[in-house]
């Protein structure tokens, strides 16, 4: 299967560089390029890519608003957003994850890591394992959110004990393989539990599943440095 990618960045040279890299591998192709957020939303609706490589800072409509616009459309539920940013601790990244993005990367990422990340997001597994991402998610989930992108579903009660256990481990940033090793299961079984949990909780991808796990109280953010335990 060929992963279809849409590039959204206001820098023409950067888009050209990404296109050359992505088109150089057999399992990916660039289907369109957008120079601003508004165009990103329009071209996503027209081309239905598997992955949108989305810059944060763009004219007319920024990457956060564009992500929200794309993720709000049910007909685009199969499209996953991978955020690219110069500043990996940018609070706009947190807002983009709340809006439905599947993860983020710094623009200094290595070429092979970018390609691997696109494949990961296309598979619906989102980029939540790296320590930097885990720290970011913990930080923004501990902050009151008034954006209203996600609400706590009553369906959390519908999860089985095993589904809750797997979801909690995923929320701690563990990969399917790490969860499988911890619970003595096969990675395929773990993936099935994750998929069923996502379906029950109406989460479009693993990133939203993790957000729900924190906001529902299934998982507690670790205490901030200097905070007394207990």
pLDDT at 150: 45
Q: What is the third-level CATH fold of 3-141?
A: Rossmann fold (3.40.50)
pLDDT at 36: 96
pLDDT tens for the chain, 230 residues long, are: 899 999 999 999 999 999 999 999 999 999 999 999 999 999 999 999 999 999 988 999 999 999 999 999 999 989 999 988 776 555 666 677 778 888 878 788 889 989 988 998 888 776 654 444 555 555 555 555 544 444 555 667 889 999 999 999 988 878 788 899 999 999 889 989 998 998 998 887 777 787 788 778 788 765 554 555 44
- pTM of the entire predicted model: 0.69
Q: Is 97 helix (H, G, I), strand (E, B) or coil?
A: helix
pLDDT at 127: 66
Q: Which helix (H) or strand (E) holds 85?
A: strand 80-85
In this structure, how many other beta carbons lie within 10 angstroms of the beta carbon of residue 5?
Answer: 25
Q: What is the CATH number of domain 154-215?
A: 1.10.10.10
Parse the chain into domains and list their residue ranges. 3-141, 154-215
Residues 6+ apart with CB under 8 A from 73: 45
Secondary structure of 182-217 as H, E, C letters: HHCCCHHHHHHHHHHHHHHHCCCCHHHHHHHHHHCC
pLDDT at 18: 96
């Amino acid at each position: 299967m060929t992963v279809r990618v849409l590039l959204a960045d206001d820098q023409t040279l950067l888009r050209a560089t990404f296109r050359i890299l992505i088109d150089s591998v057999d399992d990916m192709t660039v289907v369109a390029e957008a120079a601003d957020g508004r165009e990103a939303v329009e071209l996503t609706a027209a081309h239905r890519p598997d992955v949108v490589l989305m810059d944060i800072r763009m004219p007319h409509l920024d990457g956060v608003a564009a992500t929200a616009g794309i993720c709000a459309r049910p007909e685009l539920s199969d499209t996953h957003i991978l955020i690219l940013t110069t500043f990996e601790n940018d609070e706009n990244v947190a807002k983009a994850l709340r809006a439905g993005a599947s993860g983020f990367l710094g623009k200094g990422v290595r070429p092979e890591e970018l390609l691997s990340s696109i494949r990961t997001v296309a598979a619906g597994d989102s980029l939540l394992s790296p320590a930097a991402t885990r720290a970011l998610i913990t930080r923004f989930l501990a902050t009151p959110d008034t954006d209203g992108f996600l609400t706590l579903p009553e369906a959390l009660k519908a999860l089985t004990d095993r589904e809750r256990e797997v979801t909690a481990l995923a929320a701690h940033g563990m990969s399917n393989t790490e969860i499988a090793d911890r619970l003595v299961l096969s990675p395929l079984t773990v993936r099935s539990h994750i998929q069923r949990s996502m379906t029950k909780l109406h989460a479009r991808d693993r990133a939203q599943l993790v957000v729900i796990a924190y906001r529902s109280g299934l998982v507690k953010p670790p205490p901030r440095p200097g905070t007394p335990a207990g």
